[in-house]
Amino acid sequence: MTTVFIISAPSGSGKSTLVSRLLAREPGLMFSVSYTTRAPRGHEVEGESYHFISRAEFEKRIALGEFLEHAEVFGNYYGTHRGVLDRAQEQGVDLVLDIDVQGARQLKGKIPEAVTVFILAPSREILEQRLRLRSEDSDAVIERRLRDAANEIRNYSAYDYVLINKELTKSDEILAAIVRAERVRRNRIEDRIRPILETFEKNA
């Protein structure tokens, strides 16, 4: 059984770094590479960071029902293709999705058993500092991201876990612990328990 882990955070909260570290340290995880209509930034690589497609192509795929979830953010589409869940199930691995609040809400509606984690910076000041240190956005874009962050944070109670990313190493440990705990809790353990129960039943 594939467990779906949905991880959301305001831009600049350290989500991408934490997800990368999670994938490196925990076996049996597949990362869902989202589709987007925005242009690549910096060192982003097609097929690793995102699948970059045109707006027309994205809207065609929406019409065909190819996305598990999709949303328009800052004038660009982002979406999760249905095929990635199929591949995870075929390979018997768990799926990690790095998606925004809109997408998380859609996906949770379709996969209620999905595990949701919301990551946030300790304060607005620290989030602004992190955004400026990235040197990717103009002042106007940073201000917009901070306004949007305030709206996103108000949705924290809809998530199963909230992780305040104050110190990277500790946050890394917490996120990995969430994944490990959920793997133990999930129904898949039934497949391991049933044979044990059968050994007792044979001797009853």
The first and second tokens of residue 174, run together, are 């917490």
Check whether 204 has a pLDDT greater than 70: no
By CB neighbour count within 10 A (0-12 exposed, 13-18 middle, 19+ buried), where does 182 fall? middle
Report the pLDDT value the prediction gives residue 182, as an integer from 0 to 100: 93
Report the pLDDT value the prediction gives residue 12, as an integer from 0 to 100: 85
> How large is the average pLDDT for residues 76-90?
94
CATH code for the domain defined by 4-32+94-202? 3.40.50.300
Check whether 186 has a pLDDT greater than 70: no
> How large is the average pLDDT for residues 32-54?
90
pLDDT digits (tens, 9 = 90+) for 122-163: 999 998 888 888 777 788 888 888 888 888 888 899 999 999
Buried b (16+ CB within 10 A) or exposed e, 133-161: eeeebeeeebeebbebbeebbeeeeebeb
Give the predicted TM-score (pTM) of the model: 0.84
Report the candidate in 130, 153, 150, 131 with the shortest Cα–Cα distance to residue 140. Answer: 131
Report the pLDDT value the prediction gives residue 60, as an integer from 0 to 100: 97
Report the pLDDT value the prediction gives residue 32, as an integer from 0 to 100: 95
**Residue 188 confidence class, pLDDT cut points 50, 70, 90:** low
